[in-house]
């Protein structure tokens, strides 16, 4: 009497067809991760740019410097303030002299420039409604002559930010669709070479789960390897290109993680890699399951 082996069939992990699957999954995850990193870093760069658009607060000439400094200290405690700088009328004149390359004070006989405060607003308050609210609040300070918020420039930056976010989101969705079809095609070709093995297991009475299980294990291992490979290349790319862009555009002053509040940004980057892992794991498992079931329920004629 013949005995039936109840252990799962061994699907070779050194199958040459595994390499194309790992490479294809890794490439797709790399492109997805790159678009995700570009999205988050792009948002951070735009936010940093918005914080460089200062709100200028000009004071009447009769307001003494000590009063202005008190106002500046009170502004630093406001939730919308990123940074605040005092600019005396002498410093403002020196700045204009450098720009104009001539001493306009000697020409006019007096310094017409008032003392001012340059206020950097946090990016989450850099919208038209918030800026108007801040502007009204600033006018309540004694001695304030004029407040310039540059709302139109901020609006243009926000508009470009939304456009860039939409483009990157569309790219991410396109990569997911491409990933599904590319990975599905690769897995179907791999399982096609095992179609007779699948039919043989059916003929000896193996259950559906018994047959599919080793294929799912192999797909999960390949997805894990692909995720690790793509992660390594993403980190290298982010480090090299990120540092290059930082030196080129921000003279090394751009901070990829806010030291004062790192939890939120670490959570964002961690979430990106978790999403990549889930996508890289779910798509191969789903495609493997569907492709294996296809041969489980196909006619013997369809195997040739």
Domains identified in the chain and CATH numbers: 18-49+156-303 (no CATH), 54-149 (3.30.70.3040)
**Per residue in 102-123, pLDDT tens?**
665 566 665 667 788 889 888 8
Does the CA dihedral 266-267-270-275 come out positive or negative? negative
- Determine how many CB atoms are found less than 10 A away from the CB of residue 8: 16
C-alpha 86/C-alpha 117 separation (Å) is: 5
Q: Which residues pair with 144 in a beta bridge?
A: 59
Query: What is the widest separation between alpha-carbon atoms in the chain?
Result: 116
The mean predicted confidence, pLDDT, of the chain is: 77
What's the gap between Cα 210 and its chain centre? 41
**Residue 227: which pLDDT band, with cuts at 50, 70 and 90?**
very high
Q: What pLDDT does 296 receive?
A: 66
- Give which of 221, 238, 243 is closest to 273, Cα–Cα: 238
Q: Are 21 and 183 in contact (CB under 8 A)?
A: yes
| pTM, rounded to two decimals | 0.66
Encode burial over 94-104: b for 16+ CB neighbours within 10 A, e otherwise: eebeeeeeeee
Q: What pLDDT does 229 receive?
A: 92
Helices (H) and strands (E) counted in the chain, each on its own, are: 9, 4
Per-residue pLDDT at 3 exceeds 60: no
**Per residue in 240-267, pLDDT tens?**
776 776 666 655 555 666 666 667 777 8
Most confident among 114-118, 191-195, 210-214, 261-265 (mean pLDDT): 114-118
Query: What is the radius of gyration, based on Cα positions, of the chain?
Result: 31
198 contact partners, CB below 8 Å, separation of at least 6: 191, 211, 292, 295, 296
Average of per-residue pLDDT across 84-88: 86
C-alpha 4/C-alpha 143 separation (Å) is: 94
Q: What pLDDT does 24 receive?
A: 81
Q: What pLDDT does 108 receive?
A: 63
**Per residue in 46-79, pLDDT tens?**
887 888 888 888 888 888 888 888 989 998 889 9
């Amino acid at each position: 009497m013949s005995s039936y082996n109840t252990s799962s069939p061994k699907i070779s992990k050194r199958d040459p067809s595994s390499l194309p699957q790992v490479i294809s999954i890794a490439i797709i995850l790399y492109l997805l991760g790159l678009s995700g990193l570009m999205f988050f870093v792009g948002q951070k760069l735009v936010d940093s740019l918005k914080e460089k658009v200062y709100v200028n607060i000009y004071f009447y000439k009769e307001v003494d410097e000590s009063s202005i400094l008190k106002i500046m200290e009170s502004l630093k405690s406001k939730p919308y303030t990123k940074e605040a700088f005092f600019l005396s009328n002498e410093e403002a004149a020196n700045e204009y002299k450098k720009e104009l390359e001539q001493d306009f004070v000697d020409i006019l006989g007096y310094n017409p420039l008032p003392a001012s405060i340059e206020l950097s607003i946090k990016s989450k308050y850099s919208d038209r409604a918030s800026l108007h609210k801040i502007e009204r609040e600033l006018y309540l300070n004694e001695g304030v002559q004029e407040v310039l918020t540059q709302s139109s420039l901020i609006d243009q930056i926000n508009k470009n930010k939304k456009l860039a976010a939409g483009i990157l989101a569309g790219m991410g969705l396109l990569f997911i669709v491409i990933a599904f079809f590319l990975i599905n095609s690769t897995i179907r070709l791999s399982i096609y070479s095992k179609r007779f093995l699948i039919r043989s297991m059916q003929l000896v009475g193996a259950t559906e789960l018994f047959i599919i299980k080793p294929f799912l294990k192999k797909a999960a291992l390949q997805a894990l390897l692909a995720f690790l490979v793509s992660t390594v290349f993403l980190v290298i790319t982010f480090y090299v290109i990120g540092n290059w862009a930082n030196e080129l555009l921000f003279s090394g002053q751009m901070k990829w993680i806010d030291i004062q509040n790192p939890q939120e940004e670490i959570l964002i980057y961690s979430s990106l890699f978790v999403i990549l892992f889930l996508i890289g794991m779910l798509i191969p498992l789903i495609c493997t399951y569907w492709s294996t079931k296809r041969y489980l329920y196909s006619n013997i004629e369809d195997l040739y």
